[in-house]
């Protein structure tokens, strides 16, 4: 694994701008929809069709609890989404800052073996989390 800082090439996709905006839009969207009570109950299409919880079951409640400063409650709703939100929020600040100021970007280059191991680990964690959600009866 190699960490480098470099400037974007003129034809290269600005991933920081793309993902920074999507994260910010998602966080703001969840809060605005909740505060305006436009969508009083969020229905999960996956759970509606299959009767099984999706990997983000409880995620909306977890994000809203974080916004209200209720960390432990957020973790009880969905610790994966809560942790992801805690990582995504500062990432969006980094991403939008380096895009706006045209600063060098952090790039992490993985070997093929590291990429395969990381993918397998992620798949295993997702499977265990889904089993836990079903066992909890979500």
Domain residues of the chain, as ranges?
A: 2-136
Q: What gap in Å lies between CA 31 and CA 42, rounded to an integer?
A: 13
**Residue-wise pLDDT tens digits, 71-127:** 999 998 888 899 999 999 899 999 999 999 999 999 999 999 999 999 999 999 989
pTM metric for this prediction: 0.75
Pull the structure tokens for residue 133.
Answer: 């959600």
């Amino acid at each position: 694994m190699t960490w480098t800082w470099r400037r974007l090439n003129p034809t290269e996709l600005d991933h920081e701008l793309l993902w920074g905006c999507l994260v910010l839009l998602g966080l703001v969207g969840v809060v605005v929809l909740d505060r305006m009570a436009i969508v009083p109950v969020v229905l999960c299409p996956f759970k509606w069709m299959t009767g099984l919880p999706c990997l983000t079951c409880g995620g909306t409640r977890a994000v809203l609890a974080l916004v209200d400063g209720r960390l432990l409650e957020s973790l009880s709703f969905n610790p994966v989404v809560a942790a992801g939100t805690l990582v995504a929020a500062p990432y969006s600040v980094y991403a939008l800052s380096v895009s706006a100021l045209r600063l060098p970007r952090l790039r992490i280059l993985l070997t093929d073996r590291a990429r395969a191991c990381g993918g397998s680990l992620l798949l295993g964690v997702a499977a265990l989390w889904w089993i836990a959600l079903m066992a909890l009866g979500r």
